[in-house]
A = this chain, B = another copy of it.
Amino acid sequence: MSGSTRKNEHKVVFKPEGKTVSIGPDGSVLEACQMAGIQIDAVCGGEGKCGRCKITPQGRFSATKSALLTEDEVKGGVTLACLTRAEGDLVVEVLPRSRLGRHQILTKSVEEVPRPLSPWVWKRLLDLPPATIADNIADLERLLRVLKDKTLSVPLETLRELPGAIRKGNWRVTVTGSELGQARELVRVEPGDSHGRLLGIAVDIGTTTIVVELVDLLTGDVLATASDYNRQISRGEDVIARMMHSEEKGVEELTSLARATINSCIESLLAKESMRSGVSLSADDIVAASVAGNTIMTHFFVGLSTGHVRLEPYVPVAHHLPEPRGGDVGMLMNPAGRVLLFPSRAGYVGGDVVADVLASGMHRSGKLSLLIDVGTNGEIVLGGKDWMVSCSCSAGPAFEGAEVSSGMRAMDGAIDRIRINDDLSTSYHVIGENAPMGICGSGLIDLVSEMFSHGIIDRKARIQEVGGEKTRPSDSGHEFVVERRQKLGKSASSDLVVTDADLQNLLRTKAAIYGACAVLLRKTGESLDDLSRINIAGGFGYHLDIERAITIGMFPDVPREKYGFIGNGALGGARLALLSRKRRKEALEIFERMTYLELSVDNEFYNEFSSSLFIPHTNLSQFPSAGKGRPSN
């Protein structure tokens, strides 16, 4: 066909960006999206299973039919990008809801600056006596003689800079030392005096988003923060899909996608801080990194296979990983600088949870605390300074927008707060102040709570006939109309509803979290009354209405002042361990001390889970105040 850029290649132009890429006959439009840098939702990794990557292509193409498209959509020319192949040049529009828009990435975390600051990297300004024929020992030994430390080792990367730096600085140099674990070494030599600048990065590798902070290690200040979607999303939205992808295609692709995301964040941090400070910073200036992620993300980041984590008995390659150099893991930083990787306790209790605990400070408290990190998996930690026990429950991705027909992530167009009025009409807040496209986790919790309070659902979360047009029969029982199609964005093809099936998914999710908390308390012989604090961590913590989460029986019914948000604990914990050797040591102690309870090992979790499949719970005595508090809006 004429117009093709090469034989068998076709141009694909994306609207409205106008970005153009060429794909071959075997390439899908999904791949073209990725080539063009168009962030498209493709939960299943391009296997035609999630039905998310909706487009309207124009031109000559072939598209495999999908049961995941409605009749209206098919009539409107909608296809799935992963199942669409160009047969000529195409103009393609990605449906708004299929775009990964500006996401509400939680970059907020503990603001504590650990005092005294004691980062595990340091700088020293050295004036060396110039070499003479009577004193011609090597550059390195001359430097160590002035440092009065012969035990520091020096990697080859650093040695290569040494002679040039010494002479460029006219025998005055600034050295950077790193003391992490057993490695005591010089990681950098700069000509002249630069001991006033010492930079590190804290990294949270989340399954969905990656957040990177540029940290001034001399003051403890966060100089800049950058975040982005984890580019691995194009290979599957959740960890299970990505593990399966890696088993089929190898882990390398996921490794490089995570690193590319991190590095693009670092690039933007360096640019931001160079602009702000007027000093041109380079990647070499970043001499330390602290990285927290769940077990799977950490394995992918360093290139380890996760084949045995996915299936019973869920065995990772390693809990406590070595501290690689930046160069070993392809990080945009000084290649000799060390990367601290938070150790994971189990396949599903990762370094992010260890970092959460560190950020919460619960490991230093003499009183009993609970930590809940809600994501696709709920991770729960119970304990204090004497003991800690952790577990993970497969909560399902309902609160992250999957498995719920109107669910979506906390991003532009998502309802994050909602109230049902007495006439059963709804009032809500939409992220980005646009027309609503769906409901994110905090909005869904509000919705279930409000539906229950207004008698729209019963204790088993089944939709009731309430009269009027708000509830109606649907393919799967009944549905509740949250908003009419007319009020939605113009791409909406139907009303925004929540169905009986959706509610059962949400019920299972909340039951899994509460059930896991209950098992931990029972196994350790503690009770709700013993809890002095409940720390809520993770992406949707800050948006969450605690009162309503208690109303639906997801969180324990304890005095509300005991609840606290630690925000992005993975990021905060990573930063603490970057700024303080003491905190870094504490992270290792948390890892050593925290035991892991495998919930699937007996029936206890299943029993607690089943008891929690009611609103708020089978045993109402566990929720004496539920629903009595006044929901805030």
Which residues of A approach B to under 8 Å, CB–CB?
A: 131-141, 153-156, 159-160, 162-164, 167, 181-182, 302-305, 307-308, 312-322, 324, 328-329, 344, 346-347, 598, 600-601
A504 to chain B, nearest CB (A): 27
Closest-by-CB residue of B relative to A134 is B601
Quote the shortest CB–CB distance from A572 to chain B (angstroms).
Answer: 25
Known contacts A154-B322, A303-B156; is-contact A315 B139 (Cβ 8 Å) = yes
Q: Which residues of B contact A316 (CB under 8 A)?
A: 138-139
Tell me if A141 and B319 are in contact (CB < 8 A).
yes
Partner of A346, one of B136, B153, B305: B136
A-B contact pairs, 29 of them (CB 8 A): A131-B315, A133-B601, A134-B601, A135-B313, A136-B346, A136-B347, A136-B598, A138-B319, A139-B315, A139-B316, A139-B317, A140-B318, A140-B319, A140-B320, A153-B181, A153-B182, A154-B318, A154-B322, A156-B302, A156-B322, A156-B324, A156-B328, A156-B329, A159-B322, A160-B304, A162-B317, A163-B304, A163-B317, A182-B182
Whole-angstrom distance from the CB of A129 to the nearest CB of chain B? Answer: 12
Q: Smallest distance from the beta carbon of A564 to chain B beta carbons, Å?
A: 31
Q: Dominant SS at the A interface?
A: loop
Docked pose: A598 CA to B135 CA in angstroms: 9
> How far apart are A321's CB and chain B's nearest CB, in angstroms?
7
A154 vs B319: C-alpha distance when bound (angstroms): 12
Residues of B near A163 (CB, < 8 A) are: 304-305, 307-308, 315, 317
Partner of A305, one of B132, B160, B315: B160
Can you name the residue of chain B whose Cβ is closest to the Cβ of A184? Answer: B182
Residue in B304, B314, B329 whose CB lies within 8 Å of A159: B304
Assembled-state Cα–Cα distance A40/B131 (Å): 39
Query: Measured between alpha carbons, how far is A134 from B595 in the docked complex, in Å?
Result: 13
A315/B182 contact (C-beta < 8 A), A159-B304, A305-B160, A598-B133 known = no
Alpha-carbon distance between A182 and B151 when the two chains are bound, in angstroms: 9
In the complex, the answer to whether B134 meets A317 with C-beta atoms within 8 Å is no
With A162-B317, A182-B153 already in contact, the answer to whether A134 and B322 are too (CB < 8 A) is no
Contact of A136 among B132, B136, B314, B328 (CB under 8 A): B314
Question: Which B residues are CB-close (under 8 A) to A131?
Answer: 308, 313, 315
Give CA–CA (A252, B313) in the complex, Å.
Answer: 48
Chain B residues with CB under 8 A of A154: 318, 322
CA–CA, A324 and B136, complex, Å: 25
Does A139 contact B308, Cβ atoms closer than 8 Å? yes
A321 to B155: give the CA distance in the assembly, Å. 8
Which residue of B136, B153, B182 contacts A313 across the interface (Cβ within 8 Å)? B136
Q: How far is the CA of A320 from the CA of B140 in the complex (A)?
A: 8
B321:A159 contact, CB within 8 angstroms:
yes
Q: Given the complex of chains A and B, what is the CA–CA distance between A186 and B137 in angstroms?
A: 34
Q: A141-B320, A324-B156, A328-B156 are in contact. Are A136 and B303 (CB under 8 A)?
A: no
Contact across chains for A160 and B303 when beta carbons are under 8 A apart = yes
Give Cα A137–Cα B313 distance, bound, in whole angstroms.
Answer: 9
Q: Is A313's CB under 8 angstroms from B132's CB? A: yes
* A136→B317 contact, CB < 8 A: no
Q: Which residues of chain B are near A318, meaning CB under 8 Å?
A: 138-141, 154, 159, 162
User: In the complex, A320 Cα to B152 Cα: how many Å?
Assistant: 12
Residue numbers in B under 8 Å from A137 (CB-CB): 315, 319, 346
> Of all chain B residues, which has the CB nearest A143?
B318
The answer for the CA separation of A155 and B303 in the assembled complex, in Å, is 12
CA distance A129 to B131 in the complex (A): 59
Query: Roughly how many angstroms separate A164 CA and B247 CA in the complex, as a whole number?
Result: 13
With A and B bound together, what is the CA distance between A583 and B131 in angstroms?
Answer: 32
Q: Once the chains are docked, how many angstroms separate the CA of A601 from the CA of B136? A: 11
In the complex, how many angstroms separate the beta carbon of A353 from the nearest chain B beta carbon? 15
- Which residues on the B side are within 8 Å of A317 (C-beta)? 138-140, 159-160, 162-163
Q: Given contacts A321-B159, A322-B156, are A133 and B304 in contact (CB under 8 A)?
A: no
CB-based nearest B residue for A318:
B140
A-B pairs with lowest CB-CB distance, top 8: A140-B318, A136-B313, A138-B316, A133-B313, A138-B319, A131-B315, A138-B318, A131-B313
Would you call A136 and B321 a contact (CB within 8 A)?
no
Q: CB-CB < 8 A to A132: which residues of B? A: 313
Q: Which residues of B contact A304 (CB under 8 A)?
A: 156, 159-160, 163
